[in-house]
Amino acid sequence: MSSTGNKRRKIIGIVPARMAASRFPGKPLYPILGRPMVEHVFQRAKLFDRWDGLYLATCDREIEDFAKSKNIPVIMTSDSHTRCLDRVAEAAEKCGQSVGPDDLIVCVQGDEPMLHHDMIAASIKPLESDPSAPCTVLAMQIAEEELFKNPDTVKVIHNKKGEVLYTSRSPVPYCKGKFGIELGARRIYGIFAFRWQYLKRFTEMEETELERVESCDSNRILDADFRQRIAPFEFRHSFSVDSPEDIALVEKYMAKDPLWGKY
């Protein structure tokens, strides 16, 4: 477990998932190599060995029923949330644990079936090394031009200190006649870590225009003038599921993944 001095800091993980999705309804329970996507996410996240608690958060009875059938701790939340971090915050309040202001809440998005537990460790590291850092986002290197240009891929622009300046679905940074990787292009990978006091403040704010048009929670954080840190991570073949077409790609690489067969 983590600590600051003699004070023990909890680490609580929340996997948010919902059946409603404009491009891929029902995707949390869609099978990947014979197992529902959300099961891959939860079981892989569970391999991180420092959790004080790991929970699935949903507003859907189908997901709740599946979780209970697999003995996965599940928390029911409101069906009015449009952003995953709002669902995560509600679930953290309902998890049955006493959560202190500096305890860490980690959002592991339910559409990242290829995640590894070292990604979770990386997302927490900046918060443990700098007590002033409020929150992080895992920022993976982009090594393929197709991914750089894909609007499903949310790109991250940050300063030299590793503080996020902007997130966009456009191919940024713009490089005339070049591929953005030459300037260190990175993408959001769906793991966010927060100190609880800042996650609560985030949910108390209204959705912002930049958040809405880019469809990305991080822009609400930036509009509030929080200094979200990137948790840098090297390129790895690890793909999110945004549409049914992504399933074949995920299955291709997951079959060769070292974690496959270990859960």
Is the residue at 228 inside a domain? yes
Looking at the 3D structure of the chain, how many domains does it have? Answer: 1
In a domain, 167, yes or no: yes
The Cα–Cα gap between 12 and 150 comes to 32
pLDDT in tens, 240-255: 999 999 999 999 999 9
Residue 260 lies in a domain: no
Q: How far apart are CA 259 and CA 184, in angstroms?
A: 28
Query: The domain that contains 107 carries what CATH number?
Result: 3.90.550.10
Strands, E assignment, the chain: 2-4, 7-9, 11-16, 31-32, 35-36, 53-58, 74-76, 104-108, 135-141, 155-158, 164-168, 186-195, 229-233
What is the model's pLDDT at position 182?
A: 67
- Cα 161 versus chain centre, distance: 21
Within-domain flag for 244: no
Q: Is residue 2, in this structure, part of any structural domain at all? A: no
List, in order, residues 6 or more apart from 136 with CB less than 8 Å away.
Answer: 123, 124, 126, 127, 192, 193, 194, 228, 229, 230, 231
d(CA 95, CA 11): 12
Q: Which range is least confidently modeled, 55-59, 124-128, 210-214?
A: 210-214
Query: Would you say how long the chain is, in residues?
Result: 263
Among the listed ranges 5-9, 121-125, 259-263, which one has the minimum average pLDDT value? 5-9
- 61 belongs to a structural domain: yes
The pTM score is 0.93
Cα–Cα nearest to 88, from 112, 109, 64: 109
Higher pLDDT, 41 or 184: 41
At 6 the pLDDT is 45
Q: Please report the pLDDT score of residue 186 as a whole number.
A: 95
Residue 192 structural domain: 8-239+249-254
pLDDT at 8: 78
Give me the helix-helix angle, 37-46 and 117-129, nearest 10°: 50
Confidence label for 193 from pLDDT (cuts 50, 70 and 90): very high
* Residues linked to residue 158 through DSSP beta bridges, in sequence order: 164
- Cα-based torsion angle of the residue sequence 233, 237, 243, 245 in order, rounded to the nearest 10 degrees: 170
Which amino acid, one-letter code, is at 205? M
Q: Is residue 19 one of the residues assigned to a domain?
A: yes
In this structure, are residues 207 and 224 in contact, taking their beta carbons and an 8 Å threshold? no
Distance CA 139, CA 187 (A): 5
The Cα–Cα gap between 13 and 52 comes to 8
Residue 22 lies in a domain: yes
- Other beta carbons within 10 angstroms of residue 64's beta carbon come to 16
Residue pair 88/109 in contact (Cβ under 8 Å)? The answer is: no
